[in-house]
Amino acid sequence: MSGMAVFHKQSWSEEDFKNIILNEINTTNPFKPLADDYAGKVAINIELPEESLRNSIVKIYSFVMQKNIYIGPYKEKIIISADKKMVKSEESEKYDGMDILDLSFIDKNNRITYTCEQEKIYKIWQLNKMVTIQFLSRKKLDENDQPYCYAAQITDSL
């Protein structure tokens, strides 16, 4: 599959897929902010490197929140309830909206997971805005020689 070189691909046995992957999908509730911490809405647009991923389950993990913030079907626009921590850093305004996302696609029919993990930080969150994730054709190294697999840019309003 061209365009998929940045992903860690893992094929699973039927038993392992059921016990590990499907169990996580069915038992993990994505993070939702408490009422006092709710900041508003943000959105993610994931540009697919392969059309076959359109039928996958998407899992998005946020390092700022230290939790999965979305587990569900692929959508062109995934709207997320933002926690205040996602859009405003208490330590410094310099880091407002910055995050690192791990993105996984889960192909239930073929029992395959495709995961893109990186350490490169991007401005991801801005209230009432959408960030577009574009996967690279191959992994690149950032300024700290850490590999990264996608670029992120705030592109549109909700």
For residues 3-7, average pLDDT: 85
State the pTM of this model: 0.91
Please, which residues have CB within 8 angstroms of residue 87's CB and are 6 or more apart in sequence?
39, 40, 42, 96, 97, 125, 126, 127
pLDDT at 135: 94
Convert the pLDDT of each residue in 36-52 to its tens digit: 999 999 999 999 999 98
Whether 103 maps to a domain, the answer reads yes
φ, ψ of residue 97 in degrees (nearest 5): 80, 5
pLDDT at 1 over 50: no
Under 8 Å between Cβ of 16 and 103: no
Whether 41 maps to a domain, the answer reads yes
Whether 3 maps to a domain, the answer reads no
Whether 114 maps to a domain, the answer reads yes
Whether 1 maps to a domain, the answer reads no
- The CA distance from 65 to 38, in Å, is 13
Domains: count for the chain: 1
The two structure tokens encoding residue 112: 């395959």
Whether 2 maps to a domain, the answer reads no
Whether 50 maps to a domain, the answer reads yes
pLDDT at 33: 92
pLDDT at 68 over 70: yes
Whether 90 maps to a domain, the answer reads yes
Domain that holds residue 26: 8-157
Mean pLDDT of the chain: 90
- The CA distance from 42 to 130, in Å, is 6
Convert the pLDDT of each residue in 89-143 to its tens digit: 555 565 589 999 999 999 999 999 999 998 899 999 999 999 999 999 988 988 8
